[in-house]
């Protein structure tokens, strides 16, 4: 019997019209932040929603619904870090969800596309030690980043 993990994804409201293609592709291929799961581990999507816009009103409610659907881990979509400006509430949201509901939160879904990586690097958006931990799950090789452009 395969291990199974139930995933919830929360995306930035700026991308509310996103169909989730890159997130779902990376989940299937275990790329980006989904590389923490084994290839033989079954991943089941049990929730997909937006934060409902700044300052994230849905963060107070969506995790509870995902928990009712059996969520094991909530991922914040990569758009929360590659949008400009990146979400200023990422750590607040992560800490709130983990403390209130005891559900692990991973920042990132699909690999950071190369075009965003270059732009934010040139703008020095992601400088600072706090960004190293935030970006780590969604970083990938240049080859993989280019595949997500």
The residue extents of the domains of the chain are 4-147
Indicate the pLDDT class of residue 129, thresholds 50, 70 and 90: confident
Q: Provide the percentage of residues in the chain whose pLDDT is more than 70.
A: 99
- What's the topology of domain 4-147? Rossmann fold (3.40.50)
Single out the residue of 11, 8, 145, 6 nearest to residue 77, CA to CA. 11
Task: Specify the pairing of strand 4-11 against strand 104-107.
Answer: unpaired
Q: What is the pLDDT of residues 47-105, one digit of tens each?
A: 999 999 999 999 999 999 999 999 999 999 999 999 999 999 999 999 999 999 999 99
């Amino acid at each position: 019997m395969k291990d199974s993990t139930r995933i919830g994804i929360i995306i930035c409201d700026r991308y509310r019209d996103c169909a989730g293609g890159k997130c779902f592709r990376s989940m299937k291929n275990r790329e980006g932040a989904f590389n923490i799961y084994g290839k033989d581990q079954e991943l089941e999507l049990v929730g997909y929603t937006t934060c409902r816009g700044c300052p994230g009103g849905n963060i107070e409610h969506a995790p509870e619904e995902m928990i009712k659907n059996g969520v094991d881990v909530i991922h914040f979509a990569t758009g929360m870090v590659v949008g400009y400006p990146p979400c200023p509430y990422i750590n607040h949201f992560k800490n709130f969800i983990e403390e209130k509901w005891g559900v692990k939160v991973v920042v990132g879904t699909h690999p950071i596309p190369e075009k965003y990586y270059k732009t934010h690097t040139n703008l020095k958006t992601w400088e600072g030690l706090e960004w190293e931990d935030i970006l780590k799950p969604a970083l990938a090789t240049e080859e993989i980043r280019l595949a997500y452009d």
